[in-house]
Amino acid sequence: METADLLERAFPGRRAELKRDIFRKALALFNEQGIEATTIEMIRTECQTSVGAIYHHFGNKEGLVAALFFTALEDQARLREQYLSEATTAEQGVQALIYSYVDWVDSQPEWARFQYHARFAVTKGPFKDELASRNTSRNGQLWQWLSAAEQGEALKRYPAELMFSLIIGASESYCRAWLAGRVPSSPKAHRELLAQAAWRSISAE
């Protein structure tokens, strides 16, 4: 799952070719130069297009950052749903969440790196309400699945807003360390241990 594949999944067809190119160049610049230091003019130069074309698609720099961020979230969610669709128990569901999370980071390191860096900017920017709405929906769906009667009553003792952090916390921490070069092994190499730790954090066993 290379960057081009991710963008072609999200924005298929020849009509979206310029949009995909802007995304690719902007992603590289944001990761290399930093979000604050990167300007629309720098992106325009890399894309060899007009400033008007960039503003037409994204409105402004904040809109471009948010569009990249939400594209990453949606691609990550697609993989999670694919893995989760094969799970039939709460433990398998937690395993699916961890596997999909670390597998996505392993296959999309540049997107994951941007996603971590951009979260604060999106949270504090003009798209913060959209992000909050997406998070509420995502976490609510996860809570509904895990706390269904057939998944185990024991899980219902946790607040919905806490569940995702309990499950993903250790994996997110390790993924950040790997992307920063602080640990050598891909998170995918440790996904079974991370899944076991996540299950122990919320199960009654």
Backbone angles phi, psi at 203, to 5 degrees: -85, 160
Q: Which of 188 and 160 is assigned the larger pLDDT?
A: 188
According to the model, what pLDDT value does residue 151 have?
56
According to the model, what pLDDT value does residue 203 have?
80
1 to each of 31, 65, 67, 84, 108, how far by Cα in Å?
19, 21, 19, 19, 7
Q: Which of 179 and 139 is assigned the larger pLDDT?
A: 179
Q: Could you tell me the pLDDT band of residue 149, with boundaries at 50, 70 and 90?
A: very low
Q: Which of 89 and 18 is assigned the larger pLDDT?
A: 18
Phi-psi region of 80 (alpha: psi -120 to 50; beta: other; left: phi over 0): alpha
Q: Which of 87 and 152 is assigned the larger pLDDT?
A: 87
Q: Is a pLDDT exceeding 60 seen at residue 101?
A: yes
Q: Is a pLDDT exceeding 60 seen at residue 152?
A: no
